[in-house]
Amino acid sequence: MDFSFTEEQLMLQDVARRIAQEKIAPSAEHHDRTGEFPLANIQLLGENGLMGIEVPAEYGGAGMDPIAYVLAMVEVAAGDAAHSTIMSVNNSLFCNGILTHGSEAQKQKYVRAIAEGTAIGAFALTEPQSGSDATAMRCRAVKQADGTYVINGKKSWITSGPVAKYIVLFAMSEPDKGARGITAFMIDTDNAGFGRGKTEPKLGIRASATCEIEFNDYVAQAEDVLGQEGEGFKIAMGVLDAGRIGIASQAIGIARAAYEATLEYVKDRKAFGAAIGTFQMTQAKIADMKCKLDAALLLTLRAAWVKGQGKRFSNEAAIAKLTASEAAMWITHQAVQIHGGMGYSKEMPLERYFRDAKITEIYEGTSEIQRLVIARNETGLR
């Protein structure tokens, strides 16, 4: 594995870093406090190719690889996790699935708008009663004699749901077939039969706008089917593999921001006549934070590299996501502890990093699901 980055990858990383430092980080506290969706910043990311990093240029994207995606995601997440959540959904969950399974017409209509930042995309799999157990979904798509589908049901925890123009939806079209009865659809939220429910009052990533969505006799055309009928579960699982690389990158960005803030603090903060960074207990925490951060980054780059080689990367993505998310939670916890009372205060961003880190252990597959994926891949047992 080559540990050097190409000039193009580094250029994209630099663009992401500048936007994160100059636009995103300064507004992060406001968006976290108000929950206001950062539309202007998201459009800026789109204008600079960051909403469709792996999307080919002919569909409005940057035409780059998974490594570039990781590098850019880390920078944006270090500026603010909520922005990187929106970026991850658009890149990994929305564009990726359409590029892999969509028709040429679907790529032109849906991918271009998202990649260029002129519209927001969303991914609708989770329901109020089915999270990790996706096959228990109740959302139904009933095929009609004319080839259309009538969709009814509710989805929950839809990131960017309040503002999304297009959504990749998964619904049960043949309930008696279980996982093989799930079909993916492209949804236009301007169409009749689509509604938005309550916005979730979240612990962290508050500006990413999450809500329930409802379908009441929504009519999907035959050309709105993504892939083939009955392939929805396979599509969802493949998309989530890619999404896990994005969330691992997000976790690294959050952890890095907390770590860098802590490094500065331990040099400046004095106690008992010395900088607290000279205390052995503090030094042990710093060393462990650095080790976990680097391990998470290298495992995530490995997963991205394997994906870029066109090989199966499910296990590598699960390992990266599990390691990075738990590292982020541990590092932000230690950062708050080292900062003491100031770490607990909203006057500093440490408590926001701590709140934001938690979600990385939950979405795109909980830590428990990642362990299940890894163990099954390793043992071959189901």
Round to whole Å and give the CA distance between 375 and 371: 6
- Looking at residue 295, the DSSP 8-state letter turns out to be H
Identity of the amino acid at 54? E
Strand 225-226 to 270-271 pairing: unpaired
What do you get for the CA distance between the two ends of the chain, in Å?
A: 31
Round to whole Å and give the CA distance between 37 and 330: 28
Closest CA to 118 of 194, 66, 59, 170: 59
Please tell me whether residue 130 adopts helix, strand or coil conformation: strand
pLDDT at 133 over 90: no
The stretch 101-111 carries a mean pLDDT of 95
Please tell me whether residue 158 adopts helix, strand or coil conformation: strand
Round to whole Å and give the CA distance between 245 and 252: 11
Question: What's the gap between Cα 380 and its chain centre?
Answer: 28
Domain boundaries, the chain: 7-120, 122-229, 233-379
Task: Give the C-alpha distances (Å, rounded to integers) separating 382 from 227, 316, 376, 378.
Answer: 27, 18, 6, 11
The stretch 189-217 carries a mean pLDDT of 96
Strand ranges for the chain from DSSP E: 121-124, 140-143, 149-159, 166-172, 182-188, 194-199, 210-220, 225-226, 270-271, 274-275
CATH homologous superfamily of 233-379 equals: Butyryl-CoA Dehydrogenase, subunit A, domain 3 (1.20.140.10)
With cut-offs at 50, 70 and 90, classify the pLDDT of residue 186. Answer: very high
- Give the DSSP letter string of 82-104: HHHHHHHIIIIIIIHHHHHH--H
The stretch 7-34 carries a mean pLDDT of 97
**Element housing 370 (H / E):** helix 367-379
Instruction: Kindly state the percentage of the chain with pLDDT values over 90.
Output: 96
Mean pLDDT of all residues belonging to the chain: 96
Question: What's the gap between Cα 181 and its chain centre?
Answer: 26
> Do 210 and 202 contact (CB within 8 A), yes or no?
yes
Angle (nearest 5°) at CA 122 between 216 and 224? 60
CATH of the domain spanning 7-120, picked from 3.30.1490.390, 3.40.50.12780, 1.10.540.10, 3.30.70.2190: 1.10.540.10
Residue 134 confidence (pLDDT): 76
Q: Is 364 a known active-site residue?
A: yes
Tokens representing residue 241 in the block? 């593999």
The stretch 214-231 carries a mean pLDDT of 97
Tokens representing residue 293 in the block? 């951060």
Residue for token pair 């938690």: 358
Give 370: exposed, middle or buried? Use CB within 10 Å, 0-12, 13-18, 19+.
Answer: buried
Q: Which of 75, 116, 127, 364 is catalytic?
A: 364
Enter the pTM of the model: 0.96
pLDDT one-digit tens code per residue, 229-275? 999 999 999 999 999 999 999 999 999 999 999 999 999 999 999 99
Residue 318 confidence (pLDDT): 98
pLDDT at 131 over 80: no
Give 248: exposed, middle or buried? Use CB within 10 Å, 0-12, 13-18, 19+.
Answer: buried
Total count of residues recorded for the chain? 382
> Does the domain formed by 122-229 have CATH 2.40.110.10?
yes
